[in-house]
Structure 1
């Protein structure tokens, strides 16, 4: 993977309908590549999971292309009703996490607000014919009519991809699940809601261990909630979780069964000159991701992305403003509830770059080596293969240059909350409302 600041990104593909009448159910709510990047899963607000598979020709062509085809689509979650609390439980998929592949099948976890499911996705291209006790259409044969024994034969058939739920992990969360993360041991995983983090074994569905509990005895004393949680990529005893107070806690499960005492607390001291009514809201961390190497982590708050060294708790080692021009607009963003949007962030495969989303279907790429940054747009008018993405610029006042867009013209209904970066190539997936855009470097 090249130094990312010098990458020229170009359009590869767009998935999903380009009509303007988008139904709520079609809005993409999560995007996730599997460990080798050959599969890409999206979940939507309608409870569906769509898996795309890398086109084998595009992978091996010169220059290679980042093109994906639909591999499997299945309904993962249905809307439910909690009769005890008289609450509707949405079917919206909050997170998808892949397990490392151990056999020809693929396994992934998907969750809505309350229930986590483990799915097995497998291929079938052969079928058995010539049963003795039943006809080809499945009807049972009358034993009196069976006069000779047949040897069943295996015949090739058209490839079928089947998704079947293998485990259902339910009834462990009082509040809405915001994160799931598979441990590096590939045997356990965590699930986090606003106030608790549970540890599960992938084989055991009826019990989980509560490893973090920040619920106060008196709920009136509640000052913060858990916003995201993730396991360390290599050390199976280490996890981190972020909070709405702008802090990240690192916990070591070897020190105690209940990780109420964190091992490390990452927090940036507040700048008193920037203090305002909105300070607490915009300092809430919406996403935290450990780097692939396990040395660093990134945290996303409303206006910036910060890089932390796990060895240094006092302050981040890098800070990248995502859309600083919105600082003057916080009042109207509070009124239209945009200030509560939860933007995610992700690392490039070699940890040299970071990507996160913004409004107006803009997304940002920050190169950590050259410190260059790019603002790019996931727009329909570039939907031609190999079209180069032009860097976009937002101007805040005074005269506007030809290719700049004024901050007052940004569309806050178009927001990129979910992005994913291929684990080993410069191919990125960006969810823009109901469309999934794929971009790649122009080699």
Structure 2
């Protein structure tokens, strides 16, 4: 801006963005009070495509359900045109049910006497070059490549054949055949070709027939969505698949289990390349397993994988065929004297996500969210406390196996915020811009702000090697929410996804899909 004397005055530095005000958008599969949830209906995977116009969910019954954005199609035009019409650019996002299909069925491994669940572990969208939708889905053992596209409906229709017309391989000379008795010869032959029976088994009624009606296939203008499995990638994992991730080259993807990561070509289903193998010669020497893996969003040679020891390894596929060494290692040093029986369990990373530009990696362990800069491997740049209030209850959580729950995490498209789930169907949104104190607790219900804790949240800072790291806490009341209700460890929000370009979150609470916007 210009001052009165014509000199330039430096603009004040912009502060952190204000906290978002989240609002309920939609719910699919909402439960009524007292309704029992079927195990097969519980949502186990959520994923937006790159455009954000389509959303896919998978459930424990092996089904994949697709939703499509509807509010953007109703008003197509540039931002300038929308402003000229005084039409709000930021609208209430609306999705509708598109289609669903059975992706996986329960199987039985007879060699290992092991049941293989149909539960969908992960869904990943692939590039869509011709308007059709392509996606990968996996259960514990088998990955499938699906193509979903609209096809014109073909219907069976009756067509009336005029009497003198020839039909098929036989010919109908006249429908008004003579009713005078004539002897039929073998094979329907007759001397004067005027007959009322074609064979010993088939004859026209007396008086003939007025017309012949044959069914024909007619292509209508109606369309329906058809899901077709194009490839099945099987028999490549001895352990349960925990991750699949598409490469930015659009041709390859990885699949990861506890001990190995395999590289696949989308067009080749009978061969994969083992690129990471952490299986020791003696299984008694096993100290850590792979928990999650993801390709870099733009560098097709780079991927990251996390471990049960709380570390993240960045590997470069150009270095060697078998990437048994990493290019970078990200891990936080353990504080002296803080080790306990649960230290390694709660350090295990359940999910990692790259930011859209690939500069940062977000990781989720049982207690915290951590944001890592891939150019700084000395420690996380930010740590967000999610379950610190549960630390006194770790023994109970170990007894009921809740300590092994695997919560997912996600980043906003602009990289300014991160989110993850918690118990009592709660999820938390944290701001990660410099100077922000945003830490919002929301409930997966039609009133997401119902459990919001109205207390000022100040980030605690610690200086180390001249790098400022931020630790931000969510609501850390000892087992109770703002309304005095105790947390319910049987209802947990494990799966959620952030829209790639907007502040919109989809999350799963049992069999219900909730969507929120800000």
TM-score, normalized by the shorter chain, greater than 0.5: yes
- The answer to whether the 8 Å contact 1:251/1:263 transfers is yes
Q: Equivalent of 2:170, from 116, 119, 144? A: 144
Per-residue deviation at 1:12? 0.7
Q: Does residue 279 in structure 1 map to residue 343 in structure 2?
A: yes
| 1:94 matched residue in structure 2 | 121
Using the TM superposition, name which of 119-128 and 210-219 deviates more: 119-128
Structure 1 gap ranges (5+) = 136-140
Matched, 1:237 2:301: yes
**Change in 2 beyond 3 A, CA 1:4/1:193:** farther
Q: Which shifted more, 212-221 or 15-24?
A: 15-24
Q: Indicate which of 140, 145, 165 corresponds to 1:118.
A: 145
- The corresponding residue for 1:78 is 105
Q: Which structure has the larger Rg?
A: 2
Q: Is the 8 A contact 2:388 2:476 kept in 1?
A: no
Higher RCO, Cα 8 Å, sep 6+: 1
Q: Is the 8 A contact 1:345 1:356 kept in 2?
A: yes
Q: 1:42 to 1:128 in 2, by over 3 A?
A: same
Deviation at 1:389, TM superposition (A): 5.8
Q: How far 1:59 moved relative to its partner?
A: 6.8
TM-score, with structure 1 as normaliser = 0.89
Correspondence 1:267-416 to 2 at 5 A? 267-369=331-433, 370-379=436-445, 382=447, 391-392=452-453, 394=475, 396=477, 404-406=482-484, 409-416=486-493
CA distance 1:314–1:334, change in 2 (3 Å):
same
Q: Distance in 1 between matches of 2:441 and 2:172?
A: 72
User: CA separation of 1:236/1:338 partners in 2, compared to 1, >3 Å: closer, same or farther?
Assistant: same
Gaps of 5+ in 2: 1-14, 76-86, 162-166, 174-215, 455-474
Residues 1:33 and 2:48 are matched in the alignment: yes
How many equivalent pairs are there? 420
Q: Which residue of 2 aligns with 1:423?
A: 500
- Tell me which of 265, 274, 288 is aligned to 1:210: 274
Give the whole-Å Cα distance in 1 for the aligned partners of 2:417 and 2:384.
Answer: 11
Q: Following the alignment from structure 1 to structure 2, what is the Cα–Cα distance between the partners of residues 305 and 296?
A: 13
For residues 250 and 395 of structure 1, what CA distance do their matches in structure 2 show? 33
SS in 2 for 1:13: strand
Preserved CA contact (<8 Å) 1:3 1:352: no
Q: Note the aligned Cα RMSD (angstroms).
A: 2.5
Give 1:138's aligned residue.
none
TM-score by length of 2: 0.77
SS of residue matched to 2:240: coil
Contact kept, 8 Å, 1:106 with 1:122, in 2: the verdict is: yes
How many Å separate the matches in 2 of 1:336 and 1:5?
39
Structure 1 distance, partners of 2:381, 2:273, is: 34
